[in-house]
Amino acid sequence: MDSSSHIKKPAYRRLRGFAFDPSLSFNADTAYMNDIVFNVPWEDIKPGPSGEYVEVVDYDPTLERMYKAVDLDHLYIVAQDGLDPSESNPQFHQQMVYTVAMITIRNFEMGLGRKINWAPRFEEEGKREIYVPQLRLYPHAMREANAYYSPLKHAILFGYFYSMPSESSLQLSGIPVFTCLSHDIIAHEVTHAILDSIHKDYHEASNPDVLAFHEAFADIVALFQHFSFPEALRHQISRTQGDLSTQNLLGQLAQEFGTATGKYGSLRDAIGTTDPETMTWKPNIPNPHEYRQVMEPHARGSILVAAVFEAFLTMYKTRTADLWRIATNGTGIWQGELQPDLVARLAEEASQAAAGVLMMCIRALDYCPPLDITFGDFLCGIITADIDANRNFNRAARMAFISAFRKRGIYPQNIRSLNEESLRYPVLNISTNIQKSKQTTGDKLMRLSGDSNMLFSAIGQFVFEYAHAVQYLDNRKDLFFVTRNFIYGSGDANGSYALHQRLRGICDSASFARITGLAFIQGFEMMGIHHSSLTEGPHFRIARLELISRASQDAGQLRHSATGAVNSARDGAGPGSYKVNHAVISLVQHCGVVFRNGKFDCMFTPDKENMAKDTQEADGQTERFIFRGGCTLIFDLDTSLLKYAICKPIVSEESVLSGGRPEVNQRRIAQQYQYRQAKKDNLFSEYQAFFGDDGEQFALLHKD
């Protein structure tokens, strides 16, 4: 080997790009802060760019031609921090999508404390899962003002179009606009893909919040990444006099796209709106009616985005109150432009607050039900995850979330009061290892019958072994296959060990049914749930098996570094921080429901071959649809306890408690039926009304 063999690989690859989108580089005021250098984790890379997580394939089907692929390892390109930001060079477009995709993935991995694997592919419905190592990014996939993540192709398709501004003073008309050059659009779509890899059942719109949650989460990630661009942050703080609740670029998404498609400014704005008549911006006032009335996923998602953004603003104000007092001699009134030192300190605080909010949101994903999520569930997830991670610290941040959600009428059903304790999911503390639990916890344990103790011990043993097997796995492919084997068995004699085999032995456990809300109980056939193909037990699906192993940091110790990725200021456990060692299992069951003349009629057992589809109504009076229930079980590996069971029950709680014949959960069925009816009256997209659902639900605009 040559002498360079002892030189370490660099930690980052420096790549230039737009902090927002090309439109801001045309404005003298914003140009300098828009052209920035991103620090992308270094990886071996092929032309494309094609790395471990993503491959950029620049095929333009409208021309049936390929663009030359950029080689980011080319000496000249490495030497000048990537290609020059340019709209007219498609190779820069490839660099830009790669860069922002990697920054977004990195932020998720920091928050989740584990590597991301894309959702597996099914060659056919119900058949074996196939590993998908790379997400595909197509920067020039269509000629339309749109971009979307396609779950079927495991790809993101970016469109380009000619701008069509409302007024020519806002933007030149007829210039090409590339969605693949917008940080916000790339981050938004990559987040859809990541969310899909964690919760693949969030495709299914079983209530008005599900798709809206997908959209909101994608917007939240894009928004809070803005705060990791130091130049942009300082510029905006200086321009707003430090008041981020006034109009600013940080709280807005996709300026160029918004203007080019005829809006008066950005595509979406977390804090205000521009009145098209007067052309003035005014802040939005939280309105609880909106959550009841707005149903279109993007518009409804904006309510959640606004709530999260307000939580951030509260935290930012709290953190900077002392700085303002010091800087203004206690008057709170600053005259003239802000002093650069103060701007830098405010930016630091904003960056940390933003990183904290983003981390809280990302971590909450592990504490959400596997399907049918509502904004209220997400709030509970945020609170639960944060209490587990930070215990008594960070209470102010949690209060900021609760208050911002409350103002918009977002809270879970059946809740008595809106405080931290009632929003945290109930702590079950069910022992999965009696001897160990008694030693490690002083908490009172839930009492179960002898059989159930055996059952939970077996599951506890399983998660323990799983944790050991994957704890130090660094390779995403190994992680995927080891996890698959733990779920389904490797096909050899040890298969009986796998989780699926263990659980399908459960035909009748009232405790398990009560905890999970699932029909692991005699009489499940009458509820329209078919048999497992091998045993007497009910059919079910394991939606997730995952390890949460992360050193907790309270939000204040996280910061956005100048690299663009969120870094932790301090690794490992220290005073005031705790290590979270959890394992997650999500289970899902489904059955069929028949409604006649608007009333619940009976259950039916869906066809195994065609299980996911709703049946078409034959006579206009009868409607059949698939009803799903699911549960996320969270095990604490340190104390050997089942800590939480986050349920969307398929059985009714009362029927399981009474010990009689199991009944299907009528409350949830009625809600889903109601939602289905409302959907018929609400036309979300004219395109879909005419051309049907094309299976691509994560379009930036749903083609409108």
Partner 1 sequence: MAKSARSKKEPGPPRVYKVIVRMYCIGTGDFLFVRFYSKKECVFTMLVDCGACRPNTPRFTVAVDSFINSLPNNILDLLVITHEHNDHVNGFAICYNLFQKIIIREAWFAWTEDPDESTGAARELKTNIGTIKHGLHHALHTIRERETKMRKDKGAGPLSAKIGNFLMALTDLADINLSEDVNYNLSGENQDRGLRGMHQAKILLFGRNVKVRYLYPGEIVTLPQVPGVRFNVLGPPTRRENIFRNGQQGVDVFEKTFALKNDPMLANTFIEFNRVNRIFDLPFSDHYYADPLVHNGMEYLRYLDQSNAWRSIDNDWLNSAGALALRLNSHINNTSLVLAIESEETKKVLLFPGDAEYGSWQSWHSLEHPTGKSGSSRSWAADLLNRTVFYKVSHHGSYNGTALAKGISMMEHPDLIAFVTLDLQNIFPGWKRTMPSRRLLEELNRRAQGRVIFMNDHDINNTFYFRQDVKLPGLQTAVHNKQPLYKEVAISNF
Which of 197, 214, 205 lies closest to 121, judged by CA?
A: 197
- Whole-angstrom distance, CA of residue 622 vs CA of residue 632: 33
Decide: helix, strand or coil at residue 358. Answer: helix
- Whole-angstrom distance, CA of residue 603 vs CA of residue 625: 10
In the bound state with partner 1, the residue whose beta carbon lies nearer, of 45 and 364, is 45
In the bound state with partner 1, the residue whose beta carbon lies nearer, of 474 and 681, is 681
Looking at 38, 108, 149, 160, which residue binds partner 1 (CB under 8 A)? 160
Please compute, for residue 508, the number of CA atoms within 13 A of its CA located in the half-sphere on the CB side. 8
**496 φ/ψ sector (left φ>0, alpha ψ -120 to 50, else beta):** alpha
8 Å CB contact between 93 and 178: yes
Looking at 161, 281, 488, 578, which residue binds partner 1 (CB under 8 A)? 161
In the bound state with partner 1, the residue whose beta carbon lies nearer, of 161 and 578, is 161
Buried b / exposed e along 357-382 (16+ C-beta atoms within 10 A):
bbbbbbbbbbbbbbbbbbbbbbbbbb
Looking at 30, 150, 228, 431, which residue binds partner 1 (CB under 8 A)? 150
In the bound state with partner 1, the residue whose beta carbon lies nearer, of 269 and 546, is 269
Which amino acid is present at 14?
R
Does residue number 88 form part of the binding site for partner 1 (CB under 8 A)?
A: yes
* Residue 11 in tokens: 């930690």
- Whole-angstrom distance, CA of residue 228 vs CA of residue 110: 14
Looking at 17, 48, 265, 489, which residue binds partner 1 (CB under 8 A)? 48
8 Å CB contact between 579 and 573: yes
Does residue number 140 form part of the binding site for partner 1 (CB under 8 A)?
A: yes
Q: What is the DSSP letter of 249?
A: G
In the bound state with partner 1, the residue whose beta carbon lies nearer, of 148 and 512, is 148
8 Å CB contact between 137 and 694: no
Does residue number 695 form part of the binding site for partner 1 (CB under 8 A)?
A: yes
Residues 589-628 binding partner 1 (CB under 8 A) are: 620
Which amino acid is present at 475?
N
Looking at 154, 199, 539, 628, which residue binds partner 1 (CB under 8 A)? 154
**What DSSP line would sit under 127-145, residue for residue?**
S-EE----EEEEEEEESSS
Looking at 12, 14, 42, 59, which residue binds partner 1 (CB under 8 A)? 59
8 Å CB contact between 161 and 169: no
Of 74-82, 86-94, 474-482, 519-527: span binding partner 1 (CB under 8 A): 86-94
In the bound state with partner 1, the residue whose beta carbon lies nearer, of 173 and 449, is 173
Pattern 90-109, binding to partner 1, x per CB under 8 A?
A: xx------------------
- Whole-angstrom distance, CA of residue 188 vs CA of residue 619: 42
In the bound state with partner 1, the residue whose beta carbon lies nearer, of 474 and 619, is 619
- Whole-angstrom distance, CA of residue 222 vs CA of residue 253: 8
In the bound state with partner 1, the residue whose beta carbon lies nearer, of 47 and 505, is 47
8 Å CB contact between 385 and 364: yes
In the bound state with partner 1, the residue whose beta carbon lies nearer, of 90 and 537, is 90
Of 50-58, 212-220, 236-244, 335-343: span binding partner 1 (CB under 8 A): 50-58
User: Which residue blocks in 120-229 are alpha helix, DSSP H?
Assistant: 183-198, 209-225
Of 223-231, 330-338, 457-465, 676-684: span binding partner 1 (CB under 8 A): 676-684
Does residue number 430 form part of the binding site for partner 1 (CB under 8 A)?
A: no
Pattern 271-310, binding to partner 1, x per CB under 8 A?
A: ----------------------x--x--------------
Does residue number 678 form part of the binding site for partner 1 (CB under 8 A)?
A: no
Which amino acid is present at 235?
H
Does residue number 58 form part of the binding site for partner 1 (CB under 8 A)?
A: yes
In the bound state with partner 1, the residue whose beta carbon lies nearer, of 405 and 625, is 625
8 Å CB contact between 172 and 26: no
- Whole-angstrom distance, CA of residue 375 vs CA of residue 361: 12
8 Å CB contact between 671 and 649: no
Looking at 103, 145, 311, 587, which residue binds partner 1 (CB under 8 A)? 145
Q: How far is the CB of 166 from partner 1 (least distance, A)?
A: 8
Does residue number 668 form part of the binding site for partner 1 (CB under 8 A)?
A: no
Which of 291, 302, 296 lies closest to 412, judged by CA?
A: 291
Of 46-54, 460-468, 555-563, 570-578: span binding partner 1 (CB under 8 A): 46-54
Q: How far is the CB of 272 from partner 1 (least distance, A)?
A: 17
Residues that bind partner 1 (CB under 8 A): 47-48, 50, 55, 57-69, 88-91, 121, 136, 138, 140-145, 150, 153-155, 157, 159-162, 164, 166, 174, 176, 261-262, 293, 296, 620, 681-684, 686-687, 689-692, 694-695, 703-704
